[in-house]
Chain A
Amino acid sequence: GNSVTQMEGPVTLSEEAFLTINCTYTATGYPSLFWYVQYPGEGLQLLLKATKADDKGSNKGFEATYRKETTSFHLEKGSVQVSDSAVYFCALILRANNLFFGTGTRLTVIP
């Protein structure tokens, strides 16, 4: 079947630390991959996406590279800020209307 497995949180980092949130997927086809972010009390916002192997999605200093050989889409940021504190969701879509989400990883950045 199709699924997304995310690194379990919560993750707590000091400001300016390096962030990695692991995401691996299982898919019966060739998916598009996404990272969404959910700030406290809000809905989900698209953070970045990649649609084919070796694509790198990037936004707001966050990056993730679509690795077909390892079926991974790890999220990274070189220097996190307090404002990055949120829940991060990895997701894949294979066909229209069928978006599979991971369970989310809560990130807390402390000053």
Chain B
Amino acid sequence: SQTIHQWPATLVQPVGSPLSLECTVEGTSNPNLYWYRQAAGRGLQLLFYSVGIGQISSEVPQNLSASRPQDRQFILSSKKLLLSDSGFYLCAWSVTSGRETQYFGPGTRLLVL
């Protein structure tokens, strides 16, 4: 069966510091991978998605970036965090074709102070 991991689970960072959140998927090959952000009291916003190694599409311009160095690894980064980057970050995966279900990881709660 497939599983998706995210770490860290919780992170408190000062404004201006860098960020690296990691997501890995097990039990599947060549998945589509996604990063979402959930701000407090709001729905989910798609930030990035990837259909393969080194292939990243950005949905919303911001000071975040994503990378996919390996087939089942997806990293969300920032060089300098803003207060507005606080939120709950969720990674998800799906099979590569069609309108398939997306399966979510446990999330990382980020607080920027």
Interface residues of A (CB under 8 A from B): 31-32, 34, 36, 42-46, 49, 51, 89, 93-99, 101-104
Contacts and interface: CB of A to CB of B under 8 A. Distances in A.
B104 to A, nearest CB: 4
B99 A94 contact: yes
Given A31-B99, A46-B101, A97 B57 contact: yes
Contacts of A97: 32, 34, 49, 51, 57
B87 interface: no
B44 interface: yes
21 contacts: A32-B99, A42-B106, A42-B107, A43-B104, A43-B106, A44-B44, A44-B90, A44-B104, A46-B103, A51-B99, A89-B43, A94-B99, A96-B94, A96-B97, A96-B99, A96-B100, A97-B34, A101-B44, A102-B43, A103-B43, A104-B42
A96 B101 CA distance: 9
Contacts of B96: 96
A98 B104 contact: no
A90 to B, nearest CB: 10
A94 B46 CA distance: 14
B61 interface: no
Contacts of A34: 101
B63 interface: no
Contacts of A51: 99
A43 B99 contact: no
Contacts of B98: 96
Interface string B80-113: 0000000000101010111111111111000000
